[in-house]
Chain A
Amino acid sequence: MLEFLQYQFMQNAFIAALLVSIACGVVGTYVVIKKIVFISGGISHAAFGGIGLGYLLGINPVLSAIPFSVVSAVLMGSLGKKIELSEDAAIGILWSVGMALGIIFINLSPGYAPDLFSYLFGSILTVPYQDLLIMLVLDLIILGTVGLFHREFTAISFDEEFAEVMGVPSQLIYIILLALVALSVVVLIKAVGIILIIALLTIPAAISRQFTHHIPRLMMASVILGVILTSMGLWLSFLFNLASGATIVMVLGAAFFISAILKKIWYT
């Protein structure tokens, strides 16, 4: 059963799954408890503009996606308050404009875009070594930032107005949190692709949320669940020769339904 681990690309894929799970477990916990799923979806789709920019400039699209998605996260977090616009309208605009920019950048790039689909739908089996390094560095930045600001993240997630009164610079902290979502989007792009990222940012934390009320335990459980479920998806996609990103998301979805049923049985 484990002979598939002998392949170098499989080992890389499992390392990628681990790195992905760290980002989605830690940041996904905040995405779920602060209820910023929609804005996170917006950030992940807007990141496609950064991918397109990479093609246009001839650099690694994962690298160009970093500044692009961070900037769009900052814009989404601040635009709604600067001009008279509801936040979800701001998200909708940046979501589609980001994607459209990406398409135009790719149009403008010479030649054709070879592995474009891997950015849209993920291709965890072909993550190059350099991308693994980028993911590792981003994970470390995410963990360090959460280590420094976890009190503030929790405070603004629980009660933003009270946090502000206590002296938490809540707008700044919110934007830092969105920037972390942007970084985790970049970590996740190669694994499940832009279109399916939101599944990894929400499902592991949403499953764990049903069974624990303690934020550090919630993060830990989400990371572990992420590793188990993405590896399972990876293995199933290998076994049945299915698209890896979609299979991972299907496994996550199935796990969520099973956990919801289990919880019902447990508590009744």
Chain B
Amino acid sequence: MANVVNMEGVYYKLKDYYILENVNLTIKKNDFMALIGPNGGGKTTLLRLILGLLTPDKGNIEVLGMAPGKSKNIGYLPQKSSYQSNFPISVLEVVLMGRYKQLLKGYNKEDMKSALDSLKKVEMLHLKNQQIEKLSGGQLQRVFIARALSRKPELLLLDEPTASIDPHFQGKFYEILSKIRKKMAVVMVSHDIGVVSSYVDSIACLNQKIYCHGPVEESVEGLEKAYKCPIDLIAHGFPHRVLREHE
């Protein structure tokens, strides 16, 4: 089991329109990859295929040496969670769901510890007994990040993790990721090419096809192809550096 994810010649069709075409992608242990591309380019679809929530029309996907959906050692942060915002549940109970094991198995001390640790990491421990309907969008996103982290997975899939979080926490979030990435492979869907490229080690550009996949500096050219318009965000010559300054 060399690779965490292996995708070979994957096609996914919605009605008559191909969302994904001939996608080949490998994710290795300890990879930290950003998946970027325009809206509607198939980024979320790709994650959902890896998770086994969708089945490809053609091609082969292997996740942690198994068929997608079989391995449960995956942490997941959905883009728009299908959750019910006024559901009667506390922050801690939500995070504990990330520790779900199997039917008839309750949560033990270790699960509780992992859930509390993750809440601490995202600075939400003080609100652990809060009802989720009383949280702001940014706080809720942090709870969902904690839920994904609490599993201590081998593969962490984050769909636009920084979408609704406040700027203060954004820096902290990347700090958390740079710590945990030694223990797992991380794939992160993002629009924020500028910020992302100074943290990740590889970028995959996806717009129906994978346009490039490789170390940050080499992938930059593929961005223009994927977006089908010039990207002036990126400057060459600065390794791991991007023109736009970020705080």
Task: Identify the A interface with B (CB < 8 A).
Answer: 33, 35, 148-149, 151-152, 154-155, 157-169, 209, 212-215, 218
Contacts and interface: CB of A to CB of B under 8 A. Distances in A.
B34 to A, nearest CB: 21
Interface residues of B, number: 30
A213 B101 contact: no
Contacts of B98: 166
Interface stretch (B1-9, B17-25, B78-86, B120-128): B78-86
B131 A213 contact: yes
Interface in B40-55: 51-53
B103 A213 contact: no
A42 B127 CA distance: 40
B78 A162 contact: yes
A214 B53 CA distance: 30
Tell me which of A157, A163, A167, A169 has the highest count of chain B C-beta atoms within 10 A of its own C-beta: A167
B11 interface: no
Contacts of B237: none
B103 A169 contact: yes
B100 A163 contact: yes
21 contacts: A151-B100, A151-B106, A152-B103, A154-B93, A157-B87, A158-B83, A159-B83, A159-B84, A160-B82, A162-B78, A162-B97, A165-B51, A165-B53, A166-B97, A166-B100, A167-B102, A213-B89, A213-B90, A213-B131, A213-B133, A214-B88
Nearest to A209: B88
A161 B87 contact: no
Contact of B104 (A148, A155, A163, A167): A148
A152 B97 CA distance: 9
B132 to A, nearest CB: 9
Contacts of B151: 166
Contacts, number: 72
Interface string B137-156: 00000000001000100000
Contact of B88 (A33, A167, A169): A33
B72 interface: yes
Interface of B: 51-53, 72, 74, 76, 78, 81-84, 87-90, 93-94, 97-98, 100-104, 106-107, 131, 133, 147, 151
Nearest to B96: A151
Nearest to B48: A161
A163 B97 contact: yes
Given A161-B53, A167-B72, A218 B88 contact: yes
A169 B84 CA distance: 19
Q: Which 7 pairs, one residue from A and one from B, show the smallest C-beta to C-beta distance? A: A159-B83, A167-B72, A166-B100, A213-B88, A213-B131, A161-B82, A165-B76
Nearest to B88: A213
Of A148, A155, A165, A209, most B-chain CB atoms within 10 Å: A165
Contact of B100 (A157, A167, A214): A167
A154 B89 contact: yes
B4 to A, nearest CB: 16
A135 B128 CA distance: 39
A219 to B, nearest CB: 11
Given A159-B82, A161-B82, A215 B104 contact: no
Contacts of A168: 100
Contacts of A167: 72, 100-102
A149 B88 contact: no
Contact of A158 (B53, B72, B94, B103): B94
A158 B86 CA distance: 9
A35 B53 CA distance: 23
Contacts of B97: 155, 158-159, 162-163, 166
B88 A162 contact: no
B114 to A, nearest CB: 14
A158 B106 contact: no
Given A151-B106, A213-B133, A162 B72 contact: no
